[in-house]
Chain A
Amino acid sequence: MGIVIAVISGKGGVGKTTAAANLGLGIAQNGKTCALVDFDIGQRNLDMILGLENRVVYDMVQVMDGEATIKQALIKSKVSENLSFLAASQTKDKSVLNSEKVKTLIASLKANFDFVILDSPAGIESGYEHTIEFADAAIVIVNPEVSSIRDADRAIGILDSKSNKVKNGEEVAKYLIINRIVADMVQSGEMLRSEDILEILNIKLLGKVPEDKGVIDASNQGKPVILDKKSIAGQAYTRIAGRLCGEKVDMKDIEISDSGLFKKIAGMFK
């Protein structure tokens, strides 16, 4: 029986889909089986990030409606056979999802994979609620920026009231990934520190991902950045995936850049 994790953010454009793709691949590289499901109905994107857009035949709505089996619809990743992907439907009608259908789909994925990762749509509408409804845990993605953090708090509030686990009196585990950190700006006081963000949102930290131009380059090619061993964002996702798989990986302090440290030391002698 696997664990179901919803990747959520509230605000769009903070790197949610990129995070889902990289965590899925990172988990697969750790030897665990993982199903990645794009829940962003009408705005299918995870297939592009994974470089699988040409291989989509059936989508998740067709599976829910019995037009295709899960086996037919799941696409194996080219880089890791542990990773399978289920595409979002491109229909404009978001009402295609309902709780019963989502529950059945997730239950069958849960029975066959170690991890089931759901890439949630942005916003806090019904599509989002369906993504979190049957999740065992949620990973919240934020940027160190006011609108992202505020929207994340709203999304967490809904998670805390609408998830099935909470309704059954259990707790839904939630963890934060802070994405697009610029060390120099944190050091100069122009960007919120991780500790401040954690304090404001009252949530546990799963990992920090630095700003990295390689992320765009990776998405251009459809090869998640975690495959680029030199990329600092890719390395961050490798550490986070390790943590998810139960490894003890120390939190690397990416908020102190080498140049930032140098300036600090140089500053002492001014």
Chain B
Amino acid sequence: MFGFLEKKQSASVAKDRLTIAIMSDRNRGDAYPFMDEMKEEIIAVVKKYIGVRAVEIKKEIDGDFEALSIDVLLDKTT
């Protein structure tokens, strides 16, 4: 009667695999073509006030939360 419990149902295998695959797809920078544009704009804004060497944007996914962390590397002279 409980034979169906022995083998994991393929739909739930599909759900697990998809969740992981999609999460890693979304993590790739190129999935969001506006990233480069956004980077340039942030550099332009910060540059108005201080010297900037580079801006790094990282996307982090932690459970249900997605976060963008933006690192602004400043010029040494300022």
Contacts and interface: CB of A to CB of B under 8 A. Distances in A.
B73 interface: no
Interface in B12-67: 12, 14-15, 17-19, 21-22, 25-26, 31-34
Given A153-B22, A200-B22, A186 B11 contact: yes
The B interface is mostly helix, strand or loop, or mixed, namely helix
B11 A193 contact: yes
Contacts of A188: 9
Contacts of A193: 11
A157 B10 CA distance: 27
B11 A190 contact: yes
A157 B32 contact: yes
Contact of B1 (A191, A192, A196, A270): A270
A110 interface: no
Contact of A192 (B11, B31, B32, B34): B11
A146 interface: yes
B45 to A, nearest CB: 17
A269 to B, nearest CB: 12
Contacts of A162: 33
Contacts of B14: 145-146, 192
Contacts of B26: 153, 157
B9 A190 contact: yes
Contacts of A149: 18, 22
A186 B25 CA distance: 26
Contacts of A186: 11
Contacts of A270: 1
A161 B18 contact: no
A158 B25 CA distance: 12
Interface string A132-164: 000000000000011001100110011001100
A270 B3 CA distance: 13
Interface string A179-193: 000000010111111
B43 to A, nearest CB: 19
A150 B18 contact: yes
Contact of B32 (A146, A161, A189, A190): A161
B10 A146 contact: no
Contacts of B9: 188-190
Given A149-B18, A161-B33, A189 B25 contact: no
A189 B31 contact: no
Q: 6 shortest A-B CB distances, which residue pairs?
A: A189-B9, A161-B34, A196-B15, A153-B22, A157-B31, A189-B11
